[in-house]
Amino acid sequence: MSIDDYVRRLDSASTIQDKVDLINDVTSDEDVHVFGELLSDPRLACLEAEAPAAHQLLRLFAYGTYADYAATAAPSSALSPRQLRKLRRLSVVQAARTQRSLAYASLLTSLGLDSVPELESLLAEMITMGLFQGKLDQRDQLLQVYSCMGRDVPPEELPSLVAALEAWSEACRQSLGLVCSEMETAEARHAQAQQARRQVEERVEAERAKALAQREAATAATAAPSGHDSAEYGSSGAGAGGASSMKSLKKVRLSAKK
């Protein structure tokens, strides 16, 4: 069953004994490890005065540990074996919330266990149930915790929890502002770089066009004949024509003598 099933079961719990039985059942159910919905339900508020032992039992499983239970000097028989094992599982989760490396020796003491095999059996069972993810380091006698489920938060711890969340939220806002500022700076630098690149490309294109125009002008100047070359050609032609005329005149004179 789930915690919601037990909340719905309250609809038919008309007597104090019905509600006490419900608490005994939910604290024995191996599928339920959070109890806040029941504790906050006004239909159970009467138990604090009319069945305080049952109400304290529910608070123990919601917020407490095996060490809290043992400190009350209550005999172990007050809890069933299933309840004791479940409370030990919740105690491991409580410790894993603040520590990621738990020594076997410390766990044996806090859980009231006598042997390492018994402890490892409990931890392996918890991993299988998905209550935490981790590794059993048998060589160094350590439990390495990677992540674990959450537990109900006692009302007296809510102010500190809210303060921690507000501090975290403020740190997120500051980080976000810093990221946005860095993005704006990067975008401005990118725009400047793009503009500088366009200016360089424009200068290169202008120089290329200028060089091309100069080359075309030089080519045109080389292909056209100069005036000096024309004069030389004309003078050479006139000399050749005069020599031909003198030869013709000599031939006429020789014919006349004959």
Contact criterion met (CB below 8 Å) for 118 and 179: no
**85 near 111, Cβ under 8 Å?**
no
Rg, Å, the chain Cα set: 51
Give 155's pLDDT tier (boundaries 50, 70, 90). Answer: confident
The string of pLDDT tens digits covering residues 198-216 is 999 999 999 999 888 888 8
Which residues are CB-contacts of 130 (< 8 A; sequence separation ≥ 6)?
A: 149
Distance from the first to the final alpha carbon of the chain: 156
Q: What is the mean pLDDT of the chain?
A: 85
Are 82 and 74 in contact by the 8 Å Cβ rule? The answer is no
Q: In what order do the strands lie in the sheet with 132-137?
A: 101-103, 142-148, 132-137
Instruction: From 183, 202, 207, select the one nearest 194 (Cα to Cα).
Output: 202
Domains of the chain are 1-63 (no CATH), 75-152 (1.10.10.10)
Q: Which residues pair with 148 in a beta bridge?
A: 132
- 3-state secondary structure (DSSP) of residue 235: helix
Interval 162-182: pLDDT, tens? 898 999 999 999 999 999 999
**In the predicted model, is pLDDT for residue 238 greater than 90?**
no
Mean pLDDT of 234-251: 48
Give the confidence band of 229 by pLDDT, cuts at 50, 70, 90: low
Q: Are 19 and 54 in contact, with CB atoms under 8 Å apart? A: yes
Query: What integer pLDDT is reported at residue 81 of this predicted model?
Result: 92
Say if pTM beats, i.e. exceeds, 0.85.
no
